[in-house]
Amino acid sequence: MKGIVTLLTDFGTSDPYVAAVKGVLLSINPALDLVDITHEIKPQNIQAAGFVLASAFNYFPDGTLHLAVIDPGVGGKRRGLAAATQRHLFVGPDNGLFDRAFTLAPPRLVVSLENPDYQLPEPSDTFHGRDIFAPAAAHLTLGLPIEKLGPPISYQMRFAGRLVLGDQDELQGEIIHVDHFGNLISNIEVPLRQSKDELQYLQVLLAGEPVFTGPDIYEQAPPSRPFALIGSSGHLEVAVRDGSAYEVTGHGVGAPVVIRRQE
């Protein structure tokens, strides 16, 4: 059965880990189309991975399965899960990685990956991505009912819910991802209808320091000066025209961000 599986990990591409996961998937279902979202998430950065996954998954066709492995708790007490939403399937560790995606597409069923019939023999304690998650994902693409993988569980959010700018006078968030260009992306969402009309009238603070607001696009900003805008994901971000906000500001993941209405 043909199907699409996306992959998102912190494995990088210089080691055999991604290839091993793909090998397991294709050994069980050779007809799969495998799409790499990224394998360059910083090691163990669950929040950044959750942002990247949530920014990409909805653009895939119905029936796509998203296999995501950022798993600092591998071999420990955290569960593995498979989840079905209205349009897609998800497989990976139960550690908050899927929180942001599930706020956009709530799961109708989540199960714990406990059935050894759909795992590799003698799974390694350090590589569940290959030995547990990949086999479960591949069998799902062959039409296996999700209930066969294990008992249903109640999904519990690990991270704060969506921070959406509404009528609040102030909203506090943090940087959750630094992209390839050095843009500092926060967990504060600004609806598109508000972004162009309101951002220039808002004050944005990065680690307590004011950030220039006003430009809607990179070209409008003065060179070398950090400024705030709404990126393609709908999140408030701090950027530098023709440069890296990460390098210019010295701030990265975890830096506090405040957006407030000016009097």
pLDDT in tens, 34-90: 999 999 999 999 999 999 999 999 999 999 999 999 999 999 999 999 999 999 999
The tokens describing 194, both together, are: 């508000």
Tell if the pTM clears 0.75, that is, is over it. Answer: yes
For β-strands 32-38 and 3-9, DSSP reports them as parallel
* Shared domain check, 174 and 106: no
Q: Which two tokens stand for residue 242?
A: 């023709």
Residue 155 inside a domain? The answer is: no
Structural domain of 79:
3-149
Last residue of one domain, picked from the residues 149, 179, 197 = 149
CATH number for position 45? 3.40.50.10790
Indicate if 29 and 135 belong to the same structural domain: yes
Total domain count, the chain: 2
Per-residue pLDDT for 160 more than 80? no
- Paired sense of beta strands 3-9 and 65-69, if any: parallel
Distances (CA, A) of 178 to 181, 223, 246, 255: 8, 19, 7, 11
In a domain, 158, yes or no: no
Q: Enter the tokens of residue 59.
A: 């653009």
Pair 179, 119 in one domain: no
The residues pairing with 237 across neighbouring beta strands, listed in sequence order, are: 185, 229
Considering the domain boundaries, does residue 81 fall inside one? yes
The yes-or-no verdict on residue 193 having pLDDT over 60 is no
Residues 200, 202, 205, 209, CA torsion sign? positive
174 residue type, one letter: E
Closest CA to 176 of 40, 42, 62: 42
178 plus 129 within the same structural domain: no
pLDDT-based confidence at residue 261 (cuts at 50, 70, 90): confident
Three-state DSSP state, 136: helix
pLDDT digits (tens, 9 = 90+) for 109-138: 999 999 999 999 999 999 999 999 999 999
The per-residue pLDDT for 189 is 87
Dist. CA 161–CA 178, nearest whole Å: 20
Residue 183 lies in a domain: yes
